[in-house]
Amino acid sequence: MSQTSHLRLLPWSSPEGKPAHLVTDGTATALSLLADTIENQQIETAAVIVDLARPMVEDTASLTTAELRWIVRRLIESLTDVLTIAESRGQRIPEYEGDDEPTTDAAASAD
């Protein structure tokens, strides 16, 4: 009996700055649960940063260049984290079975 292995992109990098991955059989492990916790924290942090940034980028806001750069850096860091999470979760979604081409409502109703 062969076990299927799953490759998961982790929400942190290797010491060399390269993407880190976890290979498992699909069951929850201490490392995968830690990754889940960190991903949830990163998503919550991104939501807070967006809420804080909104008034800072309004037309009526009067921020210095340094303040604008600071908030842009935080937004970029958060967006990068969320994109990594999306990529990781997207890789774990199983492929559709059957046809290679997606069926749209218009194509389905034409039959």
What is the band of 92 on the pLDDT scale with cuts at 50, 70, 90?
A: confident
Q: Give the model confidence (pLDDT) of 4-35 as tens digits.
A: 788 899 999 999 999 999 998 888 999 999 99
Q: How far apart are CA 73 and CA 69, in angstroms?
A: 6
8-state DSSP, 50: H
Q: Give the model confidence (pLDDT) of 36-89 as tens digits.
A: 999 999 999 999 999 999 999 899 999 999 999 999 999 999 999 999 999 999
Task: Write down the domain spans for the chain.
Answer: 6-93
Q: How far apart are CA 39 and CA 34, in angstroms?
A: 9
Q: How far apart are CA 22 and CA 35, in angstroms?
A: 10
pLDDT at 21: 93
Global pTM value: 0.75
